[in-house]
């Protein structure tokens, strides 16, 4: 990969925000923070364009809730073409963490995640998506 150097003019307030990001994320320098921001914008742009992306849906729930597991399985079967794998971990006697690796058009992944997160008994759920490239 070839690296290009260029100069940037930026307001003091924006530079201070960039420096806060560098510290918060422990980037080695401003250049790495700018690369991160560009990639983040590019990935989010692909979501907006409904391009094919990859990601993970993370769910935390109480496995003692009646019918939760059946409802989750039913939803997953309806979206089987998007699901690559599922990992189920027992956090304690009541709580489970499920990580569902997914790949497909961004809008379909969002729809799948929303349906799973909306199931009664899900304590927390989140979809993380990234560009495939």
Print the domain residue range for 18. Answer: 12-48
Percentage of residues in the chain having pLDDT higher than 70: 98
* 5 lies in some domain: no
To which residue do tokens 């307030």 refer?
A: 13
If one counts the domains in the chain, the total is: 2
- Residue 35 above 80 pLDDT? yes
DSSP 93: S
* 88 lies in some domain: yes
Which residues, including other chains, have CB under 8 Å from residue 32's CB and lie 6 or more apart? Answer: 22
pLDDT in tens, 42-96: 888 877 788 899 999 999 999 888 899 999 999 999 999 999 999 999 999 999 9
Q: How many residues does the chain have?
A: 133
Q: Supply the mean pLDDT for the chain.
A: 92
44 plus 57 within the same structural domain: no
The structure's pTM equals 0.76
* 3 lies in some domain: no
* 70 lies in some domain: yes
60 plus 120 within the same structural domain: yes
* 122 lies in some domain: yes
């Amino acid at each position: 990969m070839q690296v290009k150097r260029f100069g940037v003019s930026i307001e003091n307030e924006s530079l201070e925000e960039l420096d806060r990001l560098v510290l918060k994320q422990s980037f080695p320098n401003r250049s790495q923070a700018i690369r991160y921001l560009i990639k983040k914008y590019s990935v989010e742009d692909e979501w907006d364009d409904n391009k094919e992306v990859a990601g993970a849906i993370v769910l935390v729930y109480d496995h003692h809730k009646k019918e939760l597991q059946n409802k989750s399985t039913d939803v997953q079967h309806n979206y089987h073409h998007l699901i690559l794998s599922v990992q189920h971990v027992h956090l304690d006697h009541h709580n489970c963490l499920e990580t569902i690796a997914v790949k497909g058009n961004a809008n379909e992944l969002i729809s799948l995640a929303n349906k799973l997160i909306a199931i009664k008994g899900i304590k927390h759920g989140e979809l993380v998506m990234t560009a495939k490239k």
